[in-house]
Structure 1
Amino acid sequence: MSQEQPHPDPQEQALQRVVEELEAQLQDRQQQGSTLFSEAPAPYLLLNSQGRIQDVNLAGASLLGRAREVLLGKHFGQFLMPTSQGSLDQLLSQASQQGLSHRGEVQLLHVDGTVFEVLLDLNAEKAAGEFQRFRLVITDITAYKAAHTHLLNDAESHQQEAQAHSTRIRELNQELEQVVTVFIQQLHPPLTRAMNFLGLTRRTLGDASDEVKQPLLNTERAVQQVIALMASTERYMRMRSMRVRLRYVDLNSVFREIRKNAQPLLAERQIQITSDALPTVQGDTQALYLIFDEYIANALKYTKEKDLARIHVLVREFDSEYHIGVEDNGSGFNMRQRNQLFQLFGRLHSSKVYEGTGVGLVTVRRSAQRFGGRVWAEGKVDQGATFWLAWPKSPVIRE
């Protein structure tokens, strides 16, 4: 008589099927994970605690130039340049101790001897506080490093060229200044002799007719204009090479000195000069004297047709600078032509009416710019003009 077999428990069968499905899914996930690891586009390695290779994907093997079977069990450091061994050891130590992601640059040695610049991203994988392995992602930055080095070399080359160019410009400027200075010095003697000769000739002619004397007077006036131009140019050149330094300057003292030196002109005319309370500023005494002396001389020149010339010095204070203007009631100018005033040889009036060389205001502009200052003018035809200087409260000398 046969023994009856026990019937399977339906619950056990269902549970068994679930377990089998889970195992199948797990195997499938493991297979997918293995495939993703193997075929990942980035070079990927798994290292043990000593830094030996436990696994490597296809991209990693390709970068190292060796088959996967050859790489397994090898210390990753033996595929680096000797100079990079210390960097790898430090990364491994930091990652194992701190458990954070660490990054560093090393040089990788390919099997054919090619050296790659690579970036290592290293993570220590832990479970329940226990170290498992290192996960290492390698990024080839050879092209980036080469481009960066090329840019640095280009930048250094351009900087050297710029320095050489700047040096050459300074040398040419110095040479030009020397030529102009020597040229002016050499012109002084013959022009002085010419003036003496013209004066002697005019006196020798005595009461000669105007037809005889007028050409001599015209020639003498032309020579005087050349001498005035030379003096203005010489003043401009001195300003360019002037050694300046910052100190506190009382502008009241500067204007007193200017008025004192202008007394011969003031004595011959009816001139009223007034002023607002002038500040004490940081600057250079010579430079400030040059600027305001030129402004006052300019005002005296363009008010010579007035029975009573009025000149007033204005002061406006702002947060970062002073605006100081020299106002006159002279011939003025058309504001549409104001940009010509501070240009070299920029004249708005004929030299037959108002003497001048067109260099003085250029000297003013250049002097102000050396300290970070600005100059401009305002005026109306036959209603006077005001020439302004904006002077910073904290000037910086600019060579």
Structure 2
Amino acid sequence: MQEIARVTLENEMDLILAHKRSMKLAELSGLSLSAQTTFATAVSEVSRTTIETGKKGCLVLSVENEQRDKYIVACLINENEIDARAREGLENARKLVNKYNILTKGAQTSIELFFYILPPFRIDIFKLDEWRQLFRNEPPISPYEELKRKNEQLQDLSEKVQKSEAQYKVLTNALPLIIFSLNPQGELIYANEWLTRFSGETIESLNNGKWKHVIHKDDYDSFSLLLKNGITSDAVTVKTQTRIKNKKTGEYLWHQVSLSPLKNDLGELQYWIGYIVDIHAQKVYEQTLMDNFELKQTQEQLKDNQLMMEKYIDELNRSNRELTQFAFIASHDLQEPVRKLLFYSDFLLQKYKGNIDEKGMEYLQNMHSASQRMRNLIQDLLLFSQIHREKMEFRATDLNVIMNEMLQDLEISIEEKQARLTIDPLPTIQADEVMMRQLFTNIIANSLKYSKPGQSPEIKVTNREVDGFLEIAFEDNGIGFDEKYVSQIFTLFQRLHTRELYEGTGLGLAICRKIVELHNGKISAEAKEGKGATFYVSLPLN
């Protein structure tokens, strides 16, 4: 069941919204005006009893299109059990719909009203996304609706921020080093669990005591420079070595402290990202090697190991910085402005089409197109960042089922391009179903996008088993590319063609590579300009 819109039910104004949005969903589903009114009346009958009880309720409008019969569905969630007044409203509503369900969980009751959609009306994932967009961008009918919508957007944004912060904390707590952030005044604003475990101090106690309780007195003067607002904002990385007290043993152990600045688009310093890594063993070895010439060879090996460790730490620090920066931009700086740009530009294009000259309309259209590209980029970045090994669910996956689902998702694009697909039977392997569907969708969509103008795309999917691996080949007759770019096409934001010729964010094949690597597989490609391309995906059977 695909959710399209929802309305919280608290007062009579919400009842108007519930009726209006029910009518709108019925209209989008191709129902007649009388059927629209019937469905909306049934929803109002049940919604009214929820509001009259004085308890908070919620209306969720959805589409059931996974079965042979398709329905629009209104689910009324009420915190109360059904009483006599509610039964009267339900009795009136059930006469107006095709079927209904009543679900109870404790004191909560959910009433589902189903209204049948005629079979010729086609509903796919793209149409559902379009409907959700219409409800999000629909102009408010009153100041109350505008305030209510903004409040819901703020709540949704708050949930996303909390989820992003939770993911960030899980990641940093899993790494075997101390990770922290300082504001421009040198105060701790975040630290992972390793800092408290090692030092026994909280963020508040460290800020109040300026770290004096945990830093060796001989090292404090140099370390305190990091806490003062005297570090130049032009610095790329600031490093120092200091001894930090272990709360369990009371011993001061050598650590390396590194700080890197995080700036906004204007080049203004937002805060510092840092890590603290234990180098006590290396320091002990260094002191020993200074007194013993016979251990010189060991000293050289230690230096090599230290260089390798610093390389890994730099990579961890870079990944951490990119993750933090992305979460900040996606959650705070990009999503809401892009929504507003899309909303207002679309409103101006529709409302003032006849009042703006041709040049102005061109500017507005360009602004609307740019906003859509930004929204697509944010969505692809969020998808890329959400692909984690921890979220994978390996199970026996029939790739034929996954391929059929993908073909349904791309049905409109395939028909528009008049593409011909030849797909050999595929086996069942151990894999994550959701990721496999994303992988197949991205590769086939890539072949459709880069087809030759004026020629129907031909895509052939074959497979074979080689040494415990399933090798799947996706061959097309598109425009192809120069093979010297093979190493680049699977990296982030790489485009071989201008946006004017082919739309896209440059993330599709990078997502494919990440999915395949998480399955311990490999992805590669062969191509010639003007003669098509072949993508090879190798996945372990078990």
TM bucket by the smaller chain? 0.5 to 0.7
Q: Give the structure-2-normalised TM-score.
A: 0.41
Q: Which runs of 4+ in 1 moved over 4 A?
A: 146-172
Structure 1 contact 255–292 (Cα < 8 Å) conserved: yes
2:151 is aligned to none
The structure 1 residue matched to 2:322, chosen from 176, 186, 194, is 176
Return closer, same or farther for 1:304/1:206 CA change in 2, 3 Å cut-off. Answer: farther
| 1:244-283 alignment, distance < 5 Å | 244-283=392-431
1:291 aligns with 2:439: yes
Structure 1 window deviating more from structure 2 (189-198 vs 205-214): it is 205-214
Structure 1 window deviating more from structure 2 (150-159 vs 329-338): it is 150-159
How many Å apart are 1:159 and its aligned residue?
7.4
The structure 2 residue matched to 1:237, chosen from 363, 375, 385, is 385
Q: Deviations over 1:294-328 (max 9, x none)?
A: 10111121127344222221213212322212222
The structure 2 residue matched to 1:203, chosen from 350, 357, 364, is 350
How many Å apart are 1:384 and its aligned residue?
1.8
Q: How many residues align?
A: 249
Q: Deviations over 1:158-209 (max 9, x none)?
A: 8799779857855763453243134213211110111111112222332444
1:367 is aligned to 515
Structure 1 contact 340–348 (Cα < 8 Å) conserved: no
Q: Give the structure-1-normalised TM-score.
A: 0.55
Give me the whole-angstrom Cα distance separating, in 2, the residues matched to 1:276 and 1:331. Answer: 23
Structure 1 contact 306–330 (Cα < 8 Å) conserved: no
Give me the whole-angstrom Cα distance separating, in 2, the residues matched to 1:341 and 1:161. Answer: 31
Structure 1 contact 181–237 (Cα < 8 Å) conserved: no
The structure 2 residue matched to 1:383, chosen from 516, 524, 531, is 531
2:276 is aligned to none
Structure 2 contact 418–456 (Cα < 8 Å) conserved: yes
1:216 is aligned to 364
Q: Deviations over 1:208-227 (max 9, x none)?
A: 44322112212222222211
1:199 alignment partner AA: D
Give me the whole-angstrom Cα distance separating, in 1, the residues matched to 2:420 and 2:407. Answer: 11
| 1:1-399 alignment, distance < 5 Å | 170=316, 173-174=319-320, 176-186=322-332, 187-207=334-354, 208-240=356-388, 243-303=391-451, 305-394=453-542
Return closer, same or farther for 1:153/1:284 CA change in 2, 3 Å cut-off. Answer: farther
Whose relative contact order is higher, 1 or 2, with alpha carbons under 8 Å and at least 6 apart? 1
How many Å apart are 1:345 and its aligned residue?
1.6
Structure 2 contact 452–479 (Cα < 8 Å) conserved: no
**Paired residue secondary structure (1:281):** strand
Give me the whole-angstrom Cα distance separating, in 2, the residues matched to 1:246 and 1:359. Answer: 24
Return closer, same or farther for 1:242/1:219 CA change in 2, 3 Å cut-off. Answer: farther
Structure 1 window deviating more from structure 2 (178-187 vs 372-381): it is 178-187
Structure 2: tracts of 5 or more residues without a match: 1-291
Give me the whole-angstrom Cα distance separating, in 1, the residues matched to 2:343 and 2:388. Answer: 32
How many Å apart are 1:268 and its aligned residue?
3.3
**Paired residue secondary structure (1:383):** coil
How many Å apart are 1:234 and its aligned residue?
1.1
Give me the whole-angstrom Cα distance separating, in 1, the residues matched to 2:491 and 2:537. Answer: 16
Structure 1 contact 272–308 (Cα < 8 Å) conserved: yes
2:337 alignment partner AA: P
**Paired residue secondary structure (2:458):** strand
Give me the whole-angstrom Cα distance separating, in 2, the residues matched to 1:327 and 1:320. Answer: 22
2:347 alignment partner AA: L
**Paired residue secondary structure (2:499):** coil
Give me the whole-angstrom Cα distance separating, in 2, the residues matched to 1:241 and 1:226. Answer: 27
**Paired residue secondary structure (2:467):** coil
Structure 2 contact 493–507 (Cα < 8 Å) conserved: yes
Q: Deviations over 1:103-125 (max 9, x none)?
A: xxxxxxxxxxxxxxxxxxxxxxx
Give me the whole-angstrom Cα distance separating, in 2, the residues matched to 1:164 and 1:384. Answer: 43
Return closer, same or farther for 1:350/1:157 CA change in 2, 3 Å cut-off. Answer: closer
1:173 alignment partner AA: S
* Structure 1 vs Structure 2 CA RMSD: 3.0
Give me the whole-angstrom Cα distance separating, in 2, the residues matched to 1:149 and 1:206. Answer: 81
Give me the whole-angstrom Cα distance separating, in 2, the residues matched to 1:302 and 1:242. Answer: 34
